[in-house]
A and B are shown apart, each in its own frame.
Chain A
Amino acid sequence: MKNLLLDSRLLWSIRDVTRRPLEWFLLTVSLTLITAIPATALLLVQGLTGSAANILADSPSLVIRKVDPTGWEPMPVEQSLKAVGSVPGVLRAYARIWGVVTGPEGPLTVVTPIATGSGDDSKSPTPPQSGNVLIGAGAVTGSADSHLTLSGHTTKTFKISGVIDPKSAMASHDLVVLNPLDARRLLGLPAGYASDIAIDVFHEGEETAILPDLMEALPWPVRITTRSENLKFLSGSYARRGGIIILATIPALAAICLVVAATVREHLGNRFEVGLLKAFGWTTADIVRHFLFRSLFIGVPAVCIGLVIAYTAVFSPGVQWPGVMLFGWQGRAPALQLHMGETVLTLIQMVALTLVPFLIATLVPVLKVATTDTDTCFDRGVL
């Protein structure tokens, strides 16, 4: 490293770069943008999909909803649990009460803590008292009023008894936790009915295996969603949204083509400079090394800046721009803390996609010129 830093030929190459500061600046900006934009899109889709998969790892294996030709229908809890409980492979079945209601600043999702029905309620949190409500960070109105008015089947005002831990914002941002009795009233569910039934199975493979049995066990038409279907749907929707950013990379790809073309042209026009260096006694290897150092000095920091920008934009704690720009949140987007596993491969891919073409575009013409005769360089050189 010491020898490399003290190698005067390396310093000479850098000095050569500083002779043309405008070219240096423009190339750096181009390479930075070309790296940052696609890297942001790729990292964002990867982060969103990874987060969804991790967060929903413990979500119900199957969700069963009763349907009729017009849409969803409430499910009778006792009858449904009895029917699905008789299906072999069902580990745990419980009713879920949830729905979308209108809050003071937009739609909110009402949920209730689950009750397993099998007596194992040790892990379930205590539901808020009747008339009280626990709200997510996105449902906080900002006013000093500690009451929240929700409009669903009926309109009711609740006392805010607490705010859900903001660390769980990716799951609870616009959620409102209610007492089951209040939730039923608000959503218009009759007593003894629930929005749907959730089921846990022992192994992922059983999710699809027991579907026919479940459909047969229930005396009405149902729509069953498996966890893997759910994750595929979510990752698909994230990828579509990320595709919007990737569309923005089309000009970036055009830009890299222009940069490469300009670099090739510039180095083909360097015949005179190469001839001069050869006349001074530089070998072909010296000349190639000189141009390689020049390109690396411009390219490596530019790509690093691009990757740092992309990484910071996607993974810095509490980023909100993806919610606002891609998912339509208005003013109160959730603070995301995306999953950052397996990002090294994406970063390496981005380096390969940007730096390698740039280096090739630099070295191929230089190799061609450096191996020609010195006289030829001067003959065809631009004086």
Chain B
Amino acid sequence: MKRNRPSKPPQDRLILAAILLAGAVLFCLLAVSMVIGFMGLRPDAVAEDACQQFVRQHGLNTTAIIPAGRYLRHSDGRMPNVDLRYDPRLPMADPNAGLVFRPRPPRYFSSTQLLSKSQTEMNKTQ
């Protein structure tokens, strides 16, 4: 049976469409080959080897991705006021470690200051 529709659609702006299609296909192929090529080159391997050597030589057990002094830098860097004789998965606040937050200076509590002053005066009178 003969097809009764035209074999080709009208050719207006199809050249532009062909260029766009070729560009898109080329871009996608380039992107995929760039990622695959980059993975194949493995530039991370050189850095990892250097890091491994440094870690071995200095007996390190952490990376320097997190800044020094941060809690997260060391896996064993638990809060010092938690008694570490117990399992860290069940941390207990150590009663001997002192207060976490220092008490506020008395100047913030004028009433407390007045009370302590009056007590001092009473003691002196007695």
Q: Tell me the A residues contacting B by CB distance below 8 Å.
A: 5, 8-12, 14-15, 18, 48, 51-52, 54-60, 63, 65, 67, 69-72, 94, 96, 100, 106-109, 111-114, 123-125, 136, 138, 164-165, 167-175, 177, 198, 221, 223, 225, 227, 229-230, 233-234, 237, 280-282, 297, 300-301, 304-305, 307-308, 311, 315, 317, 322-323, 327-329, 334, 336-340, 343-344, 347
Contact = CB atoms under 8 A, between A and B. Distances in A.
Contacts of B8: 8
B75 A15 contact: no
Contact of B58 (A100, A113, A138): A113
B24 A297 contact: yes
A15 B60 contact: no
Nearest to A315: B38
B17 interface: yes
Interface string B51-95: 111111111111111111110110110101101110010000010
Given A12-B9, A225-B75, A307-B31, A67 B61 contact: no
Contacts of B61: 56, 59-60, 63, 198, 225, 227, 230
A54 B48 CA distance: 7
27 contacts: A14-B20, A51-B48, A52-B63, A55-B55, A60-B59, A69-B96, A70-B97, A71-B84, A109-B68, A114-B58, A124-B57, A136-B64, A164-B54, A167-B51, A170-B64, A171-B52, A198-B59, A229-B75, A230-B75, A237-B72, A280-B5, A281-B4, A307-B35, A323-B65, A337-B43, A338-B44, A339-B44
Interface in B8-27: 8-9, 12-14, 16-18, 20-22, 24-25, 27
Interface of B: 4-5, 8-9, 12-14, 16-18, 20-22, 24-25, 27-28, 31-32, 34-35, 38-39, 42-44, 46-48, 50-70, 72-73, 75-76, 78, 80-81, 83-85, 88, 94, 96-97
Nearest to A172: B54
A234 B17 CA distance: 51
A308 B76 contact: no
* Ranked 6 nearest A-B pairs via Cβ: A71-B80, A281-B5, A107-B69, A233-B75, A337-B47, A167-B50
A328 to B, nearest CB: 6
Given A5-B18, A58-B52, A334 B80 contact: no
A55 B57 CA distance: 12
Contacts of B20: 14, 18, 297
